Amino acid sequence: MKYTYKMEKTKTVLVIGNGFDIAHGLPTKYTDFLEFISDDYKSSKVYELVPKEDVDIVREKILTVLGSDNHLLSFIQEKHKEHLISGENWVDFEQEISKIVRYIERKVYGKDTELDKMIEREFDSLSFLFDSENSSSDIKLFHENFYRLLCVFEMYVTEIINKIESKYFCEEIGSLRPDLIISLNYSNTYERVYSRFRKVDYVHGKAHLNGVEFPKDRESLDAEDYRDSNHIILGIDEYLEDEEIKDRTDFISFRKYFQRIIKGTGIEYKKHLGADRLNVFVFGHSLDPTDKELLEEIIGNKKAKVTIFYHDESSHISQVTNLVRVFGKDAVIDKCHGENPVISFRRQKESMLIKDNENFSLQRSIEYLNHFTRLTPDEFKRQLNVVTCCINNGRGFATQLDTIRAYDTIRTFNFDAEYKDRLLEIAGMVPAVNDNDQIVNAFIYNEEDWIEGTAWGTGEVHRKMSQFISDINTINAKRAKKDGVVVVRSDDHFIHTYEKKIPGEIKQDDYAAFVIKMAGMLSVGGDPDRIWSLLKRVTVSDGNTSAQIELERLKTKRRDSDFIIAVCNYLENYIDECAAAEAYDEWLRENNYYENLNEGSEP
């Protein structure tokens, strides 16, 4: 059987922050960098992960470019030492740079606010950074220090982080098939661990200083040369008013928005915001307001359903707090717990070792084979061998989704006849996964999830895929019957169609099928708030003129199902409540209640 219909654009977007790299065992914290360039660098994490000769070479290059008198870095190092004394091993480059810029801008422009006075008291020791008698020279030096710091941090990511082979992967990420990855990191970790074929939008720039050489003497390059030699965004948010910005541009280069304009980053993800729906997953990002614009466009998008992963309870609290700072408490409460919640939090699983993990190898090989035209013959042979070996020995398949994806891949190369029966056998032994990514015993999959695009703008489910999914659904239907569970086809597309527009006329048989479908989705872990909201709306819609009659018939037909009968009774009561409310409203109108209310009296 083949289905043909207009494709509905749904985009899956993955947003990753620095916690993503940390979860993969990479030393990407600012403190890791400071330890790397310190005198005690041999006790740093980098020294454990990178060949010693490489560490020494890169470290020498970084110290040379930094210069021995980089006051900006010196100040950040002092702040780090203060935190260490208080028992906290952290420092935020951007936060400290922001304070320094505000301090110096006050010196230049003479702005006098309470906040600036506080900054001056806190940073009184910074007077060596700025000599008011030679301000132009000081401004140039400060900029150069900043650009040198950008260059060396990019060098650290390029020549150290990007050359460390991660031993870990995250199960939640490995199972995703994102249309777009929005990375707020500088490293290429996702591409190296999961797939080099997925589109990654490096909003803060991508580190790639390979081949760039810097002279050892300061006189050979000025500040602008260092500025133009790096590709990353590291800076501060705007705190000046619009009118002030026009007249105070000496330090505009420190602003993130300015750097994005100059370096052309943060553009690609905007092209995906026009999708009908967005499934957004956030991993390793604190949701800090410094990325407010992106958060508003992605998490605040009215078409987005968002899953936010958190590492521990402390990070969970921090993420919620930051969301409130960006959107306000009422909006966050509504998005998380309102009538139609669109944000959910999920604790991330512990990272797993890549070595000898057959499920990860299987999923990555399937991913690579799905980009066959970009593989070399040797790569194709190697990846296909992984998949076929897993099928033959039955190992590496964690859920039925793995069997469906494997079949979809080998079908592309017409190898399906040889492996179909074995994959169905495996599907009968592994658990199912419902629409909420929960492991369940039985679940009926929606064929429309495997739509293939065509050149003429339609989508089709290939007849072989349709049959394979139908075979798995038959397996699960038998499971469900054995377990005494009501299970029907998963159909998020079906729900979304009704949510967008309830038909003007609903036939009795269609309404009965709709009620049974929704009841079945409730029984297999569907979103109850969403399903019940839709059930009630469809039941009392103008186009559903015989709901009461059909509910009575349905109860007679389904006497063996207490749950179906309960659903019908609930909806009948809801119809009565709505009818009573409508009758009362009509009585109020007949008695001019609303007119009298506007005039300040009651009937």
pLDDT digits (tens, 9 = 90+) for 216-271: 555 555 656 677 778 899 988 887 777 777 777 888 888 888 898 888 888 889 88
Q: Which of 249, 267, 285 is the last residue of a domain?
A: 267
Query: Do residues 409 and 522 both lie within one domain?
Result: no
DSSP code string of 516-546: HHHHHHHHTT--HHHHHHHHHHHHTSTT-TT
Q: How many CB atoms lie within 10 A of CB 106?
A: 19
**Would you call 14 helix, strand, or coil by DSSP?**
strand
Count of the separate structural domains present in the chain: 3
pLDDT at 442 over 70: yes
Mean residue pLDDT of the chain comes to 84
The CB-side HSE value for 221 (13 A sphere, CA atoms) comes to 21
Query: Do residues 93 and 242 both lie within one domain?
Result: yes
Could you tell me which residue, 515 or 423, shows the higher pLDDT? 423
Q: What tokens were used for 90?
A: 């952290």
pLDDT at 459 over 80: no
Mean pLDDT of the 128-137 span? 62
Mean pLDDT of the 545-569 span? 85
Give the range of the structural domain holding residue 62, as residue numbers without chain letter.
27-171+206-267
Which residues are registered as beta bridge partners of 347? 310
In a domain, 294, yes or no: no
* pLDDT cut 90: percent of the chain above it: 44
Q: How many CB atoms lie within 10 A of CB 544?
A: 22
The per-residue pLDDT for 523 is: 66
Most confident of 42-51, 87-96, 527-536: 42-51
Query: Do residues 478 and 501 both lie within one domain?
Result: no
The per-residue pLDDT for 50 is: 93
Which residues are registered as beta bridge partners of 439? 433
Instruction: Give 603's pLDDT tier (boundaries 50, 70, 90).
Output: very low
Query: Do residues 144 and 214 both lie within one domain?
Result: yes
Return the CA Rg of the chain. 30
Residue spans of beta strands (DSSP E) within 284-328:
304-310
Query: Do residues 106 and 244 both lie within one domain?
Result: yes
The per-residue pLDDT for 19 is: 96
Which residues are registered as beta bridge partners of 277? 10
Instruction: Give 455's pLDDT tier (boundaries 50, 70, 90).
Output: very low
* Alpha-carbon separation of residue 114 from 111, 117, 242 (angstroms): 10, 5, 20
Instruction: Give 312's pLDDT tier (boundaries 50, 70, 90).
Output: very high
Mean pLDDT of the 397-416 span? 94
The answer to whether 50 touches 44, Cβ cutoff 8 Å, is: no
Residue identified by tokens 């527009």 is 501
| C-alpha–C-alpha distance, residues 253 and 234, integer Å | 10
Query: Do residues 261 and 140 both lie within one domain?
Result: yes
Mean pLDDT of the 377-402 span? 96
Q: What tokens were used for 110?
A: 């003479």
Tell me the residue type at 362. Answer: L
In a domain, 496, yes or no: yes
In a domain, 112, yes or no: yes
Query: Do residues 470 and 367 both lie within one domain?
Result: yes
Report helix angle 528-539 to 508-523, nearest 10. Answer: 170
Q: Which of 483, 518, 538 is the last residue of a domain?
A: 483
The per-residue pLDDT for 221 is: 55
The answer to whether 40 touches 189, Cβ cutoff 8 Å, is: no
Query: Do residues 132 and 243 both lie within one domain?
Result: yes
| C-alpha–C-alpha distance, residues 299 and 281, integer Å | 9
Query: Do residues 478 and 526 both lie within one domain?
Result: no
The per-residue pLDDT for 66 is: 85
Q: Which long-range contacts (CB under 8 A, 24 or more apart) does 528-535 make?
A: 529/339, 529/340, 529/341, 530/340, 530/495, 531/495, 533/339, 533/340, 534/495, 534/498, 534/499, 535/567, 535/571
Which residues are registered as beta bridge partners of 489? 444
Mean pLDDT of the 125-149 span? 72
pLDDT at 213 over 70: no
Q: Which of 220, 252, 267 is the last residue of a domain?
A: 267
